[in-house]
Amino acid sequence: MTLILGIESSCDETAAAVVEDGRIAHSNIVASQDELHVKYGGVVPEIASRAHLERIYPVVSEAIQQANIKLNEIDAIAVGNRPGLIGSLLVGVASAKALAWSLEKPLITVDHVIAHLWAPHLSGSEVTYPALGVVVSGGHTSLLLLQDPYTAECLGKTIDDAAGEAFDKAASILGLGWPGGGRIDKAASDGSPIHKLPRPKTKGERPDFSFSGLKTALLYGVRGNPVRRDGKNVFPRNSTDLNYQEICDWAASFQHAAVDSIMHGIQHALDHNNVRCVVAGGGVLANTLLRKQLEATASGYNIPIHLPDFKFCVDNAAMIAGLGYHLFEIGHRDQLNITASSKGIAS
């Protein structure tokens, strides 16, 4: 039995987990910072890194306690060291190094985006390779061709906003609050996609994504075209002029357009690559419509789809420990001079 302690601090979740053999999470502690960033409507990097500093020690201690083990019973420490907010990543990396040095245990660094695609393994999925990896989160929208759990080639990605970011902005336009993905999903379940919104497709051969035009179309649809008043451009309407049903119909229309765009890229990737399955991860995989459409598409192509459980969709350290286990098993080790990087391996 191999026990890996995973540490994650790439954005605004401070997380630690203890995972056995890459698959059984004995603990999975996630301290969200939502309450610190909500008034800014998005993550403020400086606030995030300071909060990681305060939380990392209690979060790691809780992960060890909940797993009911002693710290020196772990076999290695895995940490997400890329991509992400550099100040945030450094807190996790420095903590992991300190633990590795003091416990004399191996240190393994992991790419956060590729780790999202380990998440389905934590619920028993057996992924076969080559696989199409679909990462849809608050920071990333990427299609990866995976030859094994860690060898990834980027087939396509967003050229502007990430899909989760677009959901967050759409929720803010509709006055639903932040973070917005779950709120749009819930409102959409009470609405109908009656408004026509664009399904942006990028030109060219790659299955890239673009969400900023969709967001602008929603803004103008909800608030009208800006008019000139007292020398300023102002919107004729406000989201507060909408009743509950109207908000839900706009949420459903946005969600359909965003999910259609994601699915279009996935179908393009499946048409041009020979893969044995689809494996997906990231916060937006909590979306009801996206999960349904992914299942339907994979079944149309006659290949299995591996989706993460809801608790492993958003940022967590179990996925870091899981992928760390795979790297540990194939002999991967990092030195204590390793650092963090804002850029990912393949995203």
Q: Which residues would be at the binding site for ligand KG4 (CB under 6 A)?
A: 11, 137-139, 164-165, 167-168, 179-182, 185, 282-284, 286-287, 314-315
Distance CA 135, CA 156 (A): 11
| Residue 9 binding Zn ion, by CB under 5 A | no
The entry of Zn ion, ligand KG4, none that residue 81 binds, CB within 5 to 8 Å by partner kind? none
What b/e string do you get for 43-77 counting C-beta neighbours within 10 Å, with b at 16 or more? bbeeebbbbbbebbeebbeebbebbebeeeebebb
Point out which span in 12-20, 72-80, 135-143, 163-171 binds Zn ion (CB under 5 A).
135-143
Rounded to whole angstroms, the Cα distance separating 265 from 142 reads 10
Question: Which residue's structure tokens are 């610190």?
Answer: 36
Q: Which is nearer to Zn ion, 137 or 210 (CB)?
A: 137
Assigned token pair, 5: 């302690």
- R_g over Cα of the chain: 21
Q: Of Zn ion, ligand KG4, none, which one does residue 156 interact with (CB within 5 to 8 Å by kind)?
A: none
| Least distance CB 30 / Zn ion (angstroms) | 11
Q: By CB under 5 A, tell whether 137 contacts Zn ion.
A: yes
**Residue 180 binds which entry of Zn ion, ligand KG4, none, with Cβ cut-offs from 5 to 8 Å by kind?**
ligand KG4
CA distance 153 to 207: 13
The residue range among 18-26, 133-141, 239-247, 258-266 that interacts with Zn ion, by the rule CB under 5 A, is 133-141
Q: Residue 49 or residue 253: which is nearer to Zn ion going by CB?
A: 49
- Helix (H/G/I), strand (E/B), else coil: 7: strand
Q: 83 contacts which partner out of Zn ion, ligand KG4, none, CB within 5 to 8 A by kind?
A: none
CB 122 within 8 Å of CB 318: yes
Residues at the interface with Zn ion (CB under 5 A)? 137, 315
